[in-house]
Each structure stands twice: as structure tokens, then as C-alpha cells.
Structure 1
Amino acid sequence: MPAPRNPFKHAIAKGDLQLGCWLGLADPYIAEISAGAGFDWLLIDGEHAPNDLRSIVAQLQVLAARDSHAVVRPPIGETWIIKQLLDAGAQTLLIPMVESAAQAKDLVDAVTYPPHGVRGVGSALARASDFAAIGDYLTTARDEICLLAQVENQKGMVALDDILKVDGIDGVFIGPSDLAADMGFIGQAGASGVKTAVLGAIEKIVASGKAAGILTLDQDLQTSCRKLGATFIATEIDVTLFARNMRKASSDGRKLLLTEQSAV
């Protein structure tokens, strides 16, 4: 029996839109609610959210029962943590701060078993192989692993052409917030120069034949990226969505009740 099919990987390879949401609340209950919302993929964030390996595993277990595909972002693209996340059952990884083709090649090696890569062989202990129930896991796992490189600073943008030539990278994700900061526009991801750079990168990624992705709450930018052919687009973040609506609920309730009190 081969490794489970990765629907996200095959969808972006065909150019089918995959709509996503960021999960930063680091809780399986929230992940379960989000998985029932209709998103094609949900990003479990280990870089800027308070996740560790066990909390990531708990969310992977919840998402496995739903149709939303789990993408995991580690805090850094090191071989040791990539190995742990793959063994835990993650099939799609988004690696932050990719800045060179050499780094991208190292990432490909990290998700590939020897003799072609350096991923440690411990699948008998792993959730990824259904604890050794998937007999052909070692020989089929790589075909279903989706490796996404996140380019999010000027160094990475300069190296983008070379990164796109690396075999084994399935897609490149542009990070507007970090890019904006590196360009001198910290907190201003919507600055015109940043948007121009982002759209230029998306266009270049699509032209290379690899999948292009982005996270942005800017609906105009979402639409522009999609028109250029971006295939995996995250349009919301659970943290900001929850915070925004909680604040609104508090404000609306206070206004209503204060108005009622004044009328008495």
C-alpha cells in the first residue's frame, strides 16, 4: 500500500485554486471548527504561533478527519525539524525565509530518503506510515510530499530565478509582510512598491511552471494574484478573525445596552 495521496499537491500542480486560512491559535478545537468552514487548506503555523510538535500533531489528527488539507510551517527550515514534522504525518511543508537555490536544494534533500536525500529512516515509529501499516511508505512517500518555499525578503527575491530552477520545489509562496519590512515599509504591506514586487514575483513563479501562493487580507491583492495564476491563496487568519469579531461584538453590545440605558 502506497503513501496517502496528497490532494493539495496534485491540485496546485494542475493550477486549481486552493483557498486557505492561517491557523495561529494553536488549538485543535479551533482547527476542527476551521476545517468545517470549507477552506481547501489550513496552515498550522509553527513560526509565529505558540505551537510545538505535540500541538501540531493534535491539529494534524483533527484535520485528518476533514476535507481541509493541513499545511505545516516550521519555525525554520532545518533538517531535524522537517524530519519530525514529516514523521508526524505532515505531507505539505511551507518553509520560511528561503533565500537561495542552495538552501532550496537542502530542503529537497531534507524531505527525501537516501540515497537521493537525507531524511532519516524511522517510519516504523511514525504516524506518517500509520505506524508501519503502510508497507510501501518508504518507497512512495516522496511522491506525495509537497514542498513549498517561502520567499519573503529582498535576498530571496534576487535569488528567485535560481530557486525556481530547483527540482523538488513544488511551489513558491511570497510573504508580503516580511518583504515590506525588508524594503523599508515595515507594517505597510499594502505600499505600492511592495505590491509591485509581490505581483512581479507571482508572475515569475507562474511563468516558471511552479505553483505560486500568498497570504493577504487585501482583497484587491488576492484578486490580482489569482488573475496572474496564483494557485494557493490564504485569505484569512484565525487570530485576527477572532480578535476582530470579538472586539466588534463587545463594541456592538456596549453601544446597544448603553443606548437602551439612556432611553430609560
Structure 2
Amino acid sequence: MLDLEHVPVDAPQAIEHLRAIGNTKAAPVVRLPWNDLVWIKRILDAGGQTIMVPFVQNAEEAKRAVAAARYAPEGIRGVAAVHRASQYGADATYLRNANAQTYVIVQLETPEAVAAAPEIAAVKGVDALFLGPGISRRRWGIWGRSAMRRCRRKSPRRRGRRSRPASRLALSGRTRRWCKNF
């Protein structure tokens, strides 16, 4: 993960990281500093394809992130003809395929966001949910194993099959199982 939220990396540095990762088989996830139209556009234009948007609280904020990541008619992302993602204009199919090749992960970091998880997951274009490991615990005023138990109790149970993958930093088998069943 290329972390722009907690690490002092700006857009030009992020491009250098994406170039370096582009020479490997890895598919980078870029965690943005905020749910911001300009940051989303810059990272996607720079060649990022999977973005993680931090601190999404509700379905409206998730819709805003998805709209910023998608070209019309699915979203509001501005069109530039020449940038790194389109191979500086050499990829004639880029605009036609970009929406299908862009992935949006939203990060849930508060009790309110976890409670709104079903509505957030239902937003068309949200590809996955990520549960923030530290902030949710701090906001509930608890740490360690009791934090995960509290999170499980407060989280709405989804009936039937999940429509969106959910993940978090899985430090134990119990946490991995919980995320699988979220």
C-alpha cells in the first residue's frame, strides 16, 4: 500500500512510487490523504488504479468518492487527454476502459461508519470496505482484543452473501474469520 494519509508523500513523490511499482507484478493500493476530488483525480491520472479513501462515514461520502473516481456518465472525474495513466495519450482505449479498471476501497474508522456499513457497501462503485484498525478502537475508548469484540457487537450483521469484500489488518485468525463473515 502506498500511504499518502499518514506519510508525508506528495503527488510528485507518489508518481515516482507508482513508476517503481509499475516495474513489478504488484498492484498498488493508494491510500489517499482524504476524500478529495483533486487527490483522487491526480492519483488516478498518475496511474493508480486502486484507491483507498479514508474516514468514509456514510453512503453519501462513499458516493462522492466513487463519483470522483469515475468518468461520465458514471461520475464526475475530469478528462485530460495526456497523462501517465493513458500512457501520455498513446492508449486510445484508456477513456473507454478506465471506469472498469478503477477500484475504490472505502475505509471505515468510526462506530458510526461501521453501523452504516450496509448502506456504504450498497453504493454502486464501492469495491471493498476496509476497517481502520486504530481509530475505531480509540473512538470506542478501548484497545486490543476487547476492541474487536466491541466492533463485532456493534457491527450490523449482514444476512446472506456479502456484496462487497471487507478487510482490515488481520493480526489473528479470529480477526480474519470475522472479516470474512462481516
Q: TM (normalized to structure 2)?
A: 0.90
Contact 2:29 2:49 in 1 (8 A): yes
C-alpha RMSD over aligned residues? 2.2
Larger proportion of helix:
1
2:55–2:108 contact (8 Å) kept in structure 1: yes
Task: Give 1 or 2 for the bigger CA radius of gyration.
Answer: 1
Q: How does 1:41-190 map to 2 (within 5 A)?
A: 43-122=1-80, 124-185=81-142, 188=143, 190=144
Measure the CA separation in 1 of the matches of 2:148 and 2:34.
Answer: 25
Q: Which TM-score applies when normalising by structure 1?
A: 0.63
- 1:171-250 equivalence runs, <5 A: 171-185=128-142, 188=143, 190-192=144-146, 194-199=147-152, 201=155, 204=158, 207-216=161-170, 218=171, 220=172, 223-228=173-178, 230=180
Where does structure 1 lack aligned partners over 5 or more consecutive residues?
A: 1-42, 232-264
Compute the displacement of 1:191 (Å): 3.8
The CA distance in 2 between the partners of 1:100 and 1:128, in whole Å, is 29
CA–CA distance in 1 between the matches of 2:156 and 2:100? 25
> Partner letter of residue 129 of structure 2?
V
- Mapped to 1, the partners of 2:176 and 2:156 lie a distance apart of 9
Q: Deviations over 1:164-216 (max 9, x none)?
A: 1111100000012000111012xx2x141x21244565974994321111124
Q: Percent identity?
A: 31
User: Helix, strand or coil for the counterpart of 2:85?
Assistant: helix
Counterpart in the other structure of 1:237: none
Deviation of 1:89 (Å): 0.4
Q: Which amino acid letter does the alignment assign opposite residue 90 of structure 1?
A: G
- Give the Cα–Cα distance (whole angstroms) in 2 for the partners of residues 210 and 49 of structure 1: 28
For these two proteins, the number of residue pairs brought into alignment is 180
Partner of 2:134: helix, strand, or coil?
A: helix
Work out which structure has the larger RCO, using CA pairs closer than 8 Å and 6 or more positions apart in sequence: 1
Q: CA deviation at 1:133?
A: 1.1
